[in-house]
Structure 1
């Protein structure tokens, strides 16, 4: 798998209609499951090293329309990793307290510690999506003079600068957009609505937001083009195929961890001598 084919290059123009929501990868279901299992095993090993070394952290942003598979990807992939080395945050509609601050204020508390992978299930990109589709800035506490034609370009720049700041301090970003077809979303929403065991996953707002599908596609395209950088690239997933999308995420994460190349701490000097002493003590019991 060449993950570069899913990566939005810095400065690349994006039209989501040109990116596949599914593709013929040539693997059988059994082959795909085997490859996914093997890649998750690699991810687990590298994550242990990241957590043990405690020098760098990784921020993973997941963004999509409703029912695209973000929650399931988190459950399937990241639940396999060391719990202490994970931090998962869902950034939904800002609270009253959060609205009294700048729009990135609440993001700081979601950032991982060194040695952790921080997962943003929805992210700070919510602040350049729904408010733009629904013209919500006019109803926010933002000063009127800051609500102009340049507001979204400013936010893109600010987000890029924040992500660059984090990367330069040892916390690289990697971002995944779940590119799902409108037909597939309809099928998944209907499954949630009709199955009593899945009703709890459904929200009436999911269908209401679907009515703005074309607006979202246009804004997603703009967002992906303006905020995919060398420090924090976007990967566009063919999200109609859930297992294949999960494999892409896992492979990208492995490649990033291989680049960071964290190492298990070595015990030496007095600590090594003491370790040997305690080994002998326990063996003699």
Structure 2
């Protein structure tokens, strides 16, 4: 079964509205057994495509995940990438910038970790934090010691959008395929997941009072996400607003999008020349003897 992913793709432009994108849809599967079967198919296909990516060594893949707390980023990454060879995949999580990172431009700390050709890089949060949390909390922007803060202050965000779009265009033209996922969680579902983390001792470590504090800024974050997704989604680096109230549905959509993106690269294993084939046959005869 193939999931239609087009409805989740964000069209570029200022007209993007999150309210037009649901946080929950009818599940694209019938029961838990069907879900596991579909995810297994996606994981196996992704494993095959990742081997071709690694062998061809011509492209890199950058997967970016952004979301509100408890939206399921870690679970999506863990389940969808479960069949990928760890040697060909790297995951980076970005927290509050360090003192050293604050002395550089806002893209510096993430560009250090971009994937090389043949590999899949995953950013669990990313440089997009600089137009999301920094927009909701102006004190973070003030701590970056910008030489000449724009006037009015909101002028900084269009400038940063341009920097991000230019970076992603540069990466795309040099062989890096970028796919960006916003796990679209409802405020009510976040509340339920926070309560679950408190009630389950095995999940207590996932919850902090800072999570509850950030929840107070929900509307401001939604405004920031709307502006960001609309301004930075592009053909070469699309955003997908993935309904995340149901974790199983979110995982299937994300895995389908990644599979489709890798298939579109039309990768194949390196061609073996007749001379190399003859050489290999000669080596085989020596080994057999």
**TM-score normalised by the chain length of structure 1:** 0.95
For structure 1, which segment, 34-43 or 167-176, has the greater mean C-alpha deviation from structure 2 after superposition?
A: 34-43
For structure 1, which segment, 95-104 or 190-199, has the greater mean C-alpha deviation from structure 2 after superposition?
A: 190-199
Partner of 1:68: 71
Residues 18 and 226 in structure 2, CA contact (< 8 A), matched pair in contact too: yes
1:231-242 residue pairs with structure 2 within 5 A? 231-242=236-247
Distance 1:227 1:170 in 2: 19
Distance 2:28 2:252 in 1: 14
Q: 1:276 aligns with which of 275, 278, 281?
A: 281
Q: 1:281 deviation in Å? A: 3.0
**TM-score normalised by the chain length of structure 2:** 0.94
CA, structure 1 residues 26+51, in 2 after alignment: closer, same or farther (shift >3 Å)? closer
Partner of 1:101: 104
Count of residues in Structure 1 that have an aligned counterpart in Structure 2: 284
Q: Which runs of 5+ in 2 are unaligned?
A: none
Q: 1:143 aligns with which of 125, 140, 147?
A: 147
Q: 1:37 deviation in Å? A: 1.3
Query: Alignment RMSD, CA only?
Result: 1.5
Distance 2:204 2:240 in 1: 30
Partner of 2:253: 248
Q: 1:87 aligns with which of 79, 87, 90?
A: 90
Q: 1:115 deviation in Å? A: 0.3
Runs of 4+ displaced beyond 6 Å: none
Partner of 2:264: 259
Q: 2:157 aligns with which of 128, 152, 165?
A: 152
Give 3-state SS (helix, strand or coil) of 1:150's partner: helix
Give 3-state SS (helix, strand or coil) of 2:64's partner: strand
Partner of 1:17: 19
Residues 11 and 229 in structure 1, CA contact (< 8 A), matched pair in contact too: no
Give 3-state SS (helix, strand or coil) of 2:81's partner: helix
Q: Deviations over 1:53-92 (max 9, x none)?
A: 1000011100000110101111111131011111211111
Residues 177 and 236 in structure 1, CA contact (< 8 A), matched pair in contact too: yes
Q: 1:269 deviation in Å? A: 4.1
Distance 1:179 1:132 in 2: 19
